Chain A
């Protein structure tokens, strides 16, 4: 019998981790990615990767890491897989170290660790301020090694369109589109692993990369895969607003004494340095005298949101506040913060040592995702998922530096389980549904290219982003969420009149984008409607109308299934596995 063939979709950390495990165990892999895998979004991670190695004599343990993660996620994560991740993390760091990741070192040549949010321990290994890039490269190099041995075949510049499902609704491969020739082809496989990242594009501008649209997750959602905890979206308090995207500004700026403020008077047009101290509103310091600018992420994010949208005090009427470092001497800034200051300088053109940075919370991370079981398999047999595209490790709020470890751990679980599944799979009847799926996709393409109307997909997308950012990020009201959902329905209606200005069949990026946009619209309803149903506040999901966590009703995983009806997805709720740590109130104003 031929070696089982596994398809991995997405070449970020989770996808590459799965590829390596499968190739190592003797399977063969077809790896699909929109971009060359070395350009995947994992490169954007900066701060580091968590593992309780206890190399600083603090008595850190994997049990502490587990507790911090569950507590940080406001008890929404299933505890069994999180426990396994935290226990597996130290070996992952060792492996990355052996692969040659240039981690920062202690004078003795050991791994150095730093502090991060949501913990009291030095638990974060790091490679300068580009940890994600360095980790991705290490895995990319190992995959290139397997590629040169013929165990992995890369399809870079191909976009996943859908799973091929047989008559029993089990996966038999994928349909994908060549982004140069625009040709749709069926690729048979014995199992499929999705590792397609976050959904930032649904919010228009985010800290995510261009490819993070959630299109693949939405496609399988529309084919019957559950989408879980869609309403949980992490908004980072300090990002640099840009015309094209939001770029992250690390929390360490505030750690070194950075102060957040706006002019007290709405519409104040004076330059910042002509506003006297008495007319500056240091709102975090006033509202949270104990923690000041170093309140936890979700608190800081909500406060900034309130200042801008409720009090109307954003700078120049724009959604921005100052993050001010100008009172700190240059030498200190250069010594401690140079890397991130250079990012600001390069992209904004101002020197943050001389003028305050203008920052605003930015959509950053997708806690929810494709529903998977503890083996990383979805409810559709043969479709697995790993990394940010699935829901299982971060509950209602992700802790910093836990994303990289969850990607690699999830990939390491998904890869061998997909291989095991593939080995036990009985042969497909006929072509397993391949021809029918390709025909369905070609029909969609044909219709889209010939469509007549007056709607531009990029403009529809902007409207989606504005609505989702306004109503479905930091502060949520049922009325606003309802408006957002109505807007999505309007956009879905207008999508029927989408007219591509480019109707060619060669490297047609607006065509590929229009297909992604449809999937974004369908998936965004799991966020708006899921948030409407969850009448409580938990982690990143905050509703002023129900400001408390309600374990009795909502200590539950939200599971959405696609219906195709105007009413939207069908929702059900699944009990959370809390067998190891009893849920307790989450507060960061005192030691837990």
Chain B
């Protein structure tokens, strides 16, 4: 019987300006393989299925436990984390492509820094007085913690932005992840002092009104964050803020 193998097709691009090419790989199958271990195998033996020497694949990765958010890519057309993509559960050949909505760096690596810029724009932090010993924090009841904790699990993978039809250069939409963080910080007993600023940051172009309710974000989120709930809650708050600001002149 022939040895069991794994087939991959990987979209390669040596630089942002270089043409994209597809390379095929055929690797010996091993139990428990995921997309990352397949690419590690290629790095140790960079030869294509046709026997041509090539280079290791460039891709982002770090924790390999789906908690750092690094290794998002398109796997068989779907935005997901490569570390938790088990070969066993994937149709072959496994097609790997970079996320399409972010500037490409090389191969499967893209620049997702826009998300971190968005988090600055909405002041996604609790403005503490200082780091010296000021005693205990505000009381937070378990019911409140159970709302905050899932929102705080966002790993900044940007899958929700990739699949959003409204996330593109034309709209400048901030995307679901940032909006969920606004909800998180606006609900914090201290964080809410910046609530108005955050809502105003989401009121203009690229803000929350760009959302077209496609609901792709919540489907693709690897952490099952209630993104559409967050969007509707924050959307309501933005509207109220707009009315208040209008009345105040």
Contacts and interface: CB of A to CB of B under 8 A. Distances in A.
Interface of A: 20-21, 24, 35-36, 38-41, 43-44, 91, 94-95, 97-100, 102-111, 127-128, 130, 133-134, 137-138, 141-142, 144-145, 147-148, 156, 180, 209-211, 241-245, 247, 343, 346-349, 412, 456, 458-459, 462, 501-502, 504, 506-510
B158 to A, nearest CB: 11
Interface string B210-223: 00000000000000
Shortest 7 CB-CB contacts between residues of A and residues of B? A97-B137, A243-B37, A109-B139, A502-B55, A141-B125, A507-B106, A244-B37
A346 B224 CA distance: 14
Contact of A510 (B43, B70, B105): B43
A35 B45 contact: no
Chain B, interface residues (CB within 8 Å), range? 35 or more
Interface stretch (B82-90, B195-203, B234-242): B82-90
Contacts of A138: 126
A141 B182 CA distance: 13
Nearest to A245: B64
Contacts of B94: none
Contact of A458 (B43, B63, B149, B152): B43
Contacts of A210: 61-64
Interface stretch (B113-121, B168-176, B225-233): B113-121
Nearest to A146: B125
B34 to A, nearest CB: 6
Contacts of A507: 15, 58, 105-107, 109
Contact of A104 (B128, B145, B191): B145
B148 A102 contact: yes
Given A144-B120, A507-B58, A348 B137 contact: no
18 contacts: A44-B68, A95-B131, A98-B126, A98-B128, A98-B134, A100-B190, A102-B148, A102-B152, A109-B142, A110-B139, A138-B126, A141-B124, A144-B119, A144-B124, A209-B63, A346-B66, A349-B32, A507-B15
Given A35-B62, A39-B68, A102-B148, A145 B125 contact: yes
B154 to A, nearest CB: 9
B37 A147 contact: no
A455 to B, nearest CB: 11
B116 A144 contact: yes
Interface of B: 14-15, 30, 32-34, 36-37, 40, 43-46, 53-56, 58-70, 83-84, 86, 88-89, 105-107, 109, 112-113, 116, 119-120, 123-128, 130-131, 133-142, 145, 148-149, 152-153, 155-156, 185, 188, 190-191
A41 B63 CA distance: 6
A183 to B, nearest CB: 15
A314 to B, nearest CB: 15
A105 B155 CA distance: 23
A102 B65 CA distance: 21
* Interface SS of chain B: loop
A39 B69 contact: yes
Contacts of B54: 501
B81 to A, nearest CB: 10
Contacts of B148: 102
Given A35-B70, A105-B145, A107-B142, A458 B40 contact: yes
B134 A145 contact: no
Contacts of A130: 67, 153
A86 to B, nearest CB: 15
A409 to B, nearest CB: 12
A126 to B, nearest CB: 11
A323 to B, nearest CB: 16
A95 B130 CA distance: 9
Contact of A133 (B55, B67, B120, B123): B67
B116 A506 contact: no
Nearest to B16: A506
A509 B39 CA distance: 12
Contacts of A510: 43, 55-56
